């Protein structure tokens, strides 16, 4: 009877030919289907696209320690007003194996001789901000000092200071100064004053205004964008970067902690990966290292998820393997990492953490063994790690890779094998066309409810093809991801974690597109995909409840996708609805099992009429969430969902 009435009602408000017939969905607000893990929506971080060096790591000087393959890359000799001198690159070898090179600068003039650094596609400098300069110096000739100048793109000085080294031994000198102008493409001059010679290393410039004002820290605007997602976890440091193109350039966490001058720099594997996007100046200084990753996770309330190398280099590149009988040090690195994160200050690695300023443990609960690995060789190695880690730390959950694709032989083999091994968490990756995302919102409906949990560890809709430099972060892709994510959430009993990848990209320094957040040296913007991720995260609720049409889940019929959850802490019902079609959907939600809702519901709408709409540095708000309110009629919610729209409705219990 009630249904009949609703159908009549529907017919009355939809003008024929102008929109679809109204559909009535049922929400069973009192039937909890699945608990949503706090980790559900998180962040995948990798130093790709100048995400760390040249990106979130706020160091402005490129090649500060002269350890790039070409030791003076990023630097230019300066001979102002005819000044004369020379720069020699010295290699101290064993005296400092982690940072062997430095420069010996000789000035034959009273002033004007020195060098300048170009930064990472320039240096982003802000008017009125303070900048911290530092350098390791060793005087060869008494009386030589350093004049430091920030230069804007027109060649004018926009800030300066001086440093007067006094020691014949290596010593760190610091000075700070204010910038008088804003420029995204500034450079830094280091000029010698007086005739003589000096050794220099670790020439560094940081803004004082970093995330949480930490000296030598991270770009505040970029970390803020992560914090604004309220992510459930932070996966780091990648990505293929974990594996290295060869084992020699794999990620070794122990080399990324402590004094930055002693963090051994290596080439970034993305430096040479794509011939169409060469980035010869891309290296990893590890200024953003494992302590910093754990700290950001802590700052933004995300569970840390480190991924460690499992004795395999990237299988898209060299496929180098560590012989099984030589895996010991790799396994030890994993065990030590858990102790570094969680151990008491009396343990070897817990003590190191405390000495680095963080006595409190980081409460590490999970770890990935290998990044995107596959094959029997992976299983063989994984088993060894698993045994060692679970013998010592039975509660740490391990993430196993299911390879680079969401289906096919490689995937099937890993999936079957890891399920037999009763793996904890399986990491699935899907870089696919938007259509794939629309067609796979039901992917997890029939997964084993008692098997391993799923981590949708890397995904992004590709508007052209995987790895194509033409891929766009457009609304079509973001909307398809939103549709797919309703399926993740509906299956929250199986899917415990999900993250878009990659995260960051410098507009001039990228190798891979699409990416979640783009930036230049001064500004950044969230893509439509970013807002989809953010909205799911901010509106996840605590428990999934059924949202049905004709007694079935809403997973693509007529281009519509939906999920509902309740939030036990805020006492709300949250409905997420995706209309992927070009037609307005007139819909009602008939809510069962609830006492009723407050009259005004909060609505968030993310939409565009144009599927190819994108955000950009000049137009960052083309597709952004818009907040509004709507009236609720008791337990009936009636709304029109416009074409190409992702809508969230939050109803507060009476």
Q: What residues are labeled active site?
A: 372
Nearer to ligand AHR, 37 or 515 (CB): 515
Q: For the CB of residue 111, give the shortest distance to ligand AHR in the complex, in Å.
A: 47
Is residue 320 within 8 Å of residue 312, measured between CB atoms? Answer: yes
Structure tokens given for 247: 């084992």
Nearer to ligand AHR, 404 or 546 (CB): 404
Binding residues (CB under 6 A) for ligand AHR: these are: 46, 48, 238-240, 371-372, 404, 458, 501-502, 512
Nearer to ligand AHR, 48 or 148 (CB): 48
Q: For the CB of residue 48, give the shortest distance to ligand AHR in the complex, in Å.
A: 6
Burial class (CB in 10 A: 0-12, 13-18, 19+), 609: exposed
- Position of minimal CB gap to ligand AHR: 239
Q: For the CB of residue 314, give the shortest distance to ligand AHR in the complex, in Å.
A: 9
Structure tokens given for 494: 């199986």
Compute CA distances 13 → 7, 17, 23, 320, 601, whole Å.
Answer: 10, 12, 12, 65, 21
Nearer to ligand AHR, 512 or 518 (CB): 512
DSSP string, 390-451: HHH-TTSEEEEE--SSSSSHHHHHHHHHHHHTT-SEEEEEEEE-HHHHHHTTTTTTTS-TTS
- The overall longest dimension of the chain from CA atoms, in Å, is 98
Query: Quick one: angle between helices 328-342 and 348-355, nearest 10?
Result: 50
**Cβ atoms within 10 Å, residue 504:** 26
Nearer to ligand AHR, 124 or 238 (CB): 238
Q: For the CB of residue 46, give the shortest distance to ligand AHR in the complex, in Å.
A: 5
Main-chain dihedrals φ then ψ at residue 549, nearest 5 degrees? -125, 125
Nearer to ligand AHR, 503 or 606 (CB): 503
Residue 438 and residue 308: Cα distance in Å, rounded?
Answer: 33
Q: For the CB of residue 242, give the shortest distance to ligand AHR in the complex, in Å.
A: 8
Main-chain dihedrals φ then ψ at residue 517, nearest 5 degrees? -130, 130
Is residue 602 within 8 Å of residue 650, measured between CB atoms? Answer: yes
**Cβ atoms within 10 Å, residue 434:** 22
Nearer to ligand AHR, 229 or 501 (CB): 501
Residue 515 and residue 145: Cα distance in Å, rounded?
Answer: 44
Q: For the CB of residue 458, give the shortest distance to ligand AHR in the complex, in Å.
A: 5
Cα 246 to its chain centre, rounded Å, is: 23
Q: For the CB of residue 247, give the shortest distance to ligand AHR in the complex, in Å.
A: 17
220: which residues sit within 8 A by CB, 6+ positions away?
209, 210, 211, 212
Strand partners, 177: 131
Q: For the CB of residue 508, give the shortest distance to ligand AHR in the complex, in Å.
A: 19
86: which residues sit within 8 A by CB, 6+ positions away?
105, 106
Nearer to ligand AHR, 511 or 588 (CB): 511
């Amino acid at each position: 009877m009630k249904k009949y009435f609703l159908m009549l009602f529907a017919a009355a408000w939809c003008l024929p030919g102008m929109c679809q017939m109204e559909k009535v969905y049922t929400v069973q607000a009192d039937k909890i289907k699945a608990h949503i893990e706090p980790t559900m929506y998180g962040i995948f971080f990798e130093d790709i696209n100048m995400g760390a060096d040249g990106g979130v790591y706020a160091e402005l000087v490129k090649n500060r320690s002269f350890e790039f393959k070409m030791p003076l890359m990023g630097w230019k000799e300066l001979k102002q007003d005819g000044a004369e001198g020379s720069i020699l690159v010295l290699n101290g070898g064993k005296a400092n194996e982690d940072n062997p090179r430095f420069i010996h600068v000789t000035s034959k003039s009273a002033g004007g001789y020195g060098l300048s650094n170009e930064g990472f596609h320039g240096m982003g400098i802000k008017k009125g901000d303070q900048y911290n300069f530092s350098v390791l110096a060793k005087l060869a000739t008494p009386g030589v000092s350093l004049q430091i100048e920030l230069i804007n793109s027109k060649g004018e000085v926009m800030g300066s200071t001086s440093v007067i080294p006094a020691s014949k031994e290596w010593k760190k000198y610091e000075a700070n100064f204010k910038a008088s102008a804003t420029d995204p493409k500034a450079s830094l001059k280091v000029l010698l004053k007086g005739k003589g010679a000096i050794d220099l290393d670790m020439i560094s410039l940081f803004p004082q205004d970093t995330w949480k004002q930490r000296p030598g820290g991270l770009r505040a605007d970029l970390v803020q964008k992560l914090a604004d997602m309220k992510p459930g976890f932070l996966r780091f440091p990648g990505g293929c970067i974990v594996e290295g193109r060869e084992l020699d350039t794999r990620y070794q966490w122990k080399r990324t902690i402590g004094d930055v001058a002693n963090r051994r720099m290596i080439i970034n594997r993305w430096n040479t990966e794509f011939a169409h996007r060469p980035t010869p100046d891309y290296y990893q200084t590890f200024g953003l290292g494992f302590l910093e990753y754990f700290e950001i996770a802590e700052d933004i309330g995300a569970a840390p998820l480190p991924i460690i190398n499992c004795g395999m280099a990237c299988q898209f590149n060299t496929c180098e393997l560590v012989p099984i009988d030589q895996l010991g040090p790799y396994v030890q690195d994993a065990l030590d990492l858990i102790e570094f994160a969680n151990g008491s200050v009396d343990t070897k690695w817990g003590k190191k953490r405390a000495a680095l300023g963080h006595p409190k443990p980081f409460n590490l609960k999970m770890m990935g063994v290998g990044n995107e690995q596959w094959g029997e060789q992976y299983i063989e190695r994984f088993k060894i790690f698993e045994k060692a880690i679970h013998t010592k730390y039975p509660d740490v959950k391990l993430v196993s890779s299911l390879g680079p694709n969401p289906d096919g032989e490689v995937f099937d083999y890993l999936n079957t094998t890891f399920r037999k091994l009763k793996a904890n968490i399986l990491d699935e990756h899907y870089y696919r066309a938007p259509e794939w995302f629309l067609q796979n919102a039901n992917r997890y409906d029939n997964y084993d409810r008692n098997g391993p949990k799923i981590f949708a560890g890397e995904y992004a809709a590709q508007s052209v093809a995987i790895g194509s430099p033409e891929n766009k972060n457009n609304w079509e892709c973001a909307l398809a991801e939103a549709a797919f994510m309703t399926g993740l959430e509906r299956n929250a009993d199986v899917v415990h974690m999900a993250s878009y990848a990659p995260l960051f990209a410098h507009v001039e320094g990228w190798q891979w597109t699409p990416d979640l957040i783009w930036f230049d040296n001064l500004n950044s913007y969230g893509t439509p995909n970013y807002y989809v991720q953010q909205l799911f995260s901010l509106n996840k609720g605590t428990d999934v409840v059924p949202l049905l049409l004709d007694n079935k889940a809403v997973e693509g019929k007529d281009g519509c996708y939906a999920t509902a959850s309740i939030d036990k802490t805020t006492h709300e019902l949250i409905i997420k609805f995706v209309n992927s079609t070009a037609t307005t959907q007139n819909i009602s939600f008939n809510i069962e099992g609830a006492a009723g809702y407050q009259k005004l519901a909060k609505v968030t709408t993310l939409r565009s009429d144009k599927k190819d709409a994108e955000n950009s540095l000049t137009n960052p708000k083309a597709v952004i969430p818009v907040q509004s309110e709507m009236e609720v009629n008791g337990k009936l919610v009636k709304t029109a969902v416009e074409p190409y729209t992702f809508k969230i409705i939050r109803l507060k219990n009476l």
